[in-house]
Structure 1
Amino acid sequence: MADFNKILVVVDPNETQQPALSRAAFLAKKTGAQITLFLTIYDFSYEMTTMLSSSEREAMRNGILSQRREWLDELAKPLQADGIKVETLTAWHNRPYESILKAVNEGGFDVLFKSTHEHSTLKAVIFTPTDWHLLRKCPVPVMLVKDHEWPENGVVLAAVNCGSEDDAHQQLDDVITREGKAIAELINADLHLVTAYPGTPVNIAIEIPEFDPQAYTQAMKEHHEKQAKEHAAAFGIAGDHIHVKEGLPEDVIPAVAESLNAELVIMGTVGRTGLTAALIGNTAEQVIDRLESDLLALKPAAKG
């Protein structure tokens, strides 16, 4: 969080509580970061009022934006009184995620905070299409916030891919763990690592009689444990804070997060386009959809 000096908080006009704003304020008090409250607005009925001229429609839009800015200013006042630097920003746009991305790029923000909603029946966080677009396309880290507190001595869980020998994944693991350590120290929490390794491929076990599935699984486990311990040691993470589990990431990560009652899960997202993005994103989305904690999604460090 040391590099998150400018925070953009997406405000939900339909909610009384603003968890993302509360979380951003909590961290800004500790880091001195500046917060900008952002609200994107669109009402199709104003665009379809054919009896009005374009200038009259623009005046109506500006009137709505002005009213919303006043509301944002009221949200900002208690934070400003608490010594936090807060600004407000509004935009009229029919695609919220595009408007948010435009604000991120033009404002030079370091991180984006947005609230998620918990479905009371499913007892799970519901992510909207806007959330998914932001996770895939936002050029800066995205913090998706649930309505709960971050208690002292809590748990931050960093999800890493320690079995990979790909340079990009290893660099991303470093980014995830480094950020996890910084946040854990900032909020007085314990940092844990989780990594998943695959079980025995059923088709190989069937097609190759001499194949030893137990030996294969043990070898995979030992490889991932060795890599995870080396990675943890590089960041000064204790051995009992490493969780290496057999299974798919979308099963392992939420299960470990729940068992530890983690306040925050940190994951990586590697930007891709086209079909590759759909395939790569599918696993990440399944993980995220099952989490009951806050999520911080990070991108690989910029090259150069």
Structure 2
Amino acid sequence: MFNCSRILVVFDPYHKEQSAFQRACYLAEKTNASILLVSCIFDETYDMTNFLTTEQRVDMKAALLNGQSKAMQAYVSRCDAQVQTKAIWNKSLYRGIVDVATHEHCDLIVKSCKQHNKLAQKVFTPNDWHLLRVSPINVLMVKEHSWPENGNIVSAVSIDTNDSVHNLLSDRVCKVSCDLAKVIDANVHLANTFAGAPVHIAIEVPSFNAQAYNEDVQARHLEEINAIAKQHDLPSNHVHVSEGLPEDVIPKLCEQLDAELLVLGSVGRRGISAALLGNTAEHIIDKINCDTLVIKPNIQ
């Protein structure tokens, strides 16, 4: 069964429609999970002004938090599930959310996913990407795509005999996808990519048959992915193995299938390289028009 007993939903105070909350309500109704609606706010003027006394600062902070609590209460009545609200004060949204999720023993974080301009993606690390990297629990990034019955879930799986961590994560991705599909009445498609022979190798080594090489690699990948599909009773026509980069192939497959959800694993990466290059998961999420469930290591 899809493990989802307590869902943390990130409340967006700058948008009237709360797509993350709506999605969480749908999941909660299917799984009998409880919902914790959390708003993380911070007002820089609270620290910048020198004209407020300590008591006035406390009152100002309490008033802002109270205002957020009232705003969230307006949405609670829209969901039949058990919903609690919590307004927190933290300069860092992703740190505040992760702290609450850990303390409240939540097993899923749901957050709406916004589009970012290309410059910001390459130079800065938005809260969305920070949350994906540091969250110890699964994260569902919500876009505007609906979840119709008998829809399609694309499960991105990888195979690498030299990387046990990613292989184990791929197993979890497939299991979670199949369990969730039973809950929401959806069909699972397994997606896998492989790197083809370099274009220049045909010039440097004329005797090398690039086409035969690619066909052989694809056949081996198909064999491995079909074995995984068989374990989960998935039909062979729901297995998709293509040459290319995951961030190019998987978004195209999601579009072709009109997928309602993409499930993928992410071990996360930090530091300068992550800020400049971004994870594969991040590249994929930005290119698709459906929700994305990011599975973390050691999460069932």
TM-score, normalised via structure 2 length: 0.91
Q: Which moved more, 1:203-212 or 1:30-39?
A: 203-212
Count of residue pairs the alignment pairs up: 295
Q: Which moved more, 1:100-109 or 1:201-210?
A: 201-210
Show the counterpart of 1:65.
Answer: 65
Deviations 1:151-210 (A, max 9, x none): 111001101113555222221111001110011111111111110111111343333333
Show the counterpart of 1:170.
Answer: 167
Show the counterpart of 1:269.
Answer: 266
**Offset, 1:278:** 5.8
SS at match of 1:117: coil
Residue 275 of structure 2 is aligned to residue 282 of structure 1: no
**Separation of aligned partners in 2, 1:12 and 1:204:** 51
Show the counterpart of 1:44.
Answer: 44
The 5 Å alignment of 1:48-127 reads 48-79=48-79, 82=80, 84-117=81-114
**Separation of aligned partners in 1, 2:150 and 2:92:** 40
Residue 139 of structure 2 is aligned to residue 142 of structure 1: yes
Aligned residues: percent identity?
40
Q: Does the Cα contact within 8 Å between 1:163 and 1:227 map onto a contact in 2?
A: no
Residue 26 of structure 2 is aligned to residue 26 of structure 1: yes
SS at match of 1:196: strand
**Offset, 1:281:** 4.2
Residue 271 of structure 2 is aligned to residue 300 of structure 1: no
**Separation of aligned partners in 1, 2:299 and 2:115:** 33
Show the counterpart of 1:7.
Answer: 7
**Counterpart amino acid of residue 176 in structure 1:** V
Deviations 1:225-264 (A, max 9, x none): 1111111111111001111111111111000000000000
**Offset, 1:73:** 1.9
**Counterpart amino acid of residue 284 in structure 1:** A
Give unmatched runs, 5+ long, in structure 2: 119-123
Q: Does the Cα contact within 8 Å between 2:160 and 2:166 map onto a contact in 1?
A: no
Alignment RMSD: 2.3
**Counterpart amino acid of residue 43 in structure 2:** D
**Offset, 1:280:** 8.1
Q: Does the Cα contact within 8 Å between 1:160 and 1:193 map onto a contact in 2?
A: yes
SS at match of 1:252: helix
Deviations 1:7-63 (A, max 9, x none): 000010111111110010001011110100000111112222211112311211111
Q: Does the Cα contact within 8 Å between 1:197 and 1:220 map onto a contact in 2?
A: yes
Show the counterpart of 1:244.
Answer: 241
Residue 201 of structure 2 is aligned to residue 204 of structure 1: yes
Change (3 A) 1:161 1:278: farther
**Separation of aligned partners in 2, 1:266 and 1:97:** 21
Q: Which moved more, 1:127-136 or 1:68-77?
A: 127-136
SS at match of 2:13: coil
**Offset, 1:128:** 7.6
**Separation of aligned partners in 1, 2:74 and 2:179:** 32
Q: Does the Cα contact within 8 Å between 2:133 and 2:270 map onto a contact in 1?
A: no
Q: Which moved more, 1:253-262 or 1:293-302?
A: 293-302
Deviations 1:117-156 (A, max 9, x none): 368x99xxxx980110011111100000012321111001
Give unmatched runs, 5+ long, in structure 1: none
**Separation of aligned partners in 2, 1:231 and 1:15:** 41
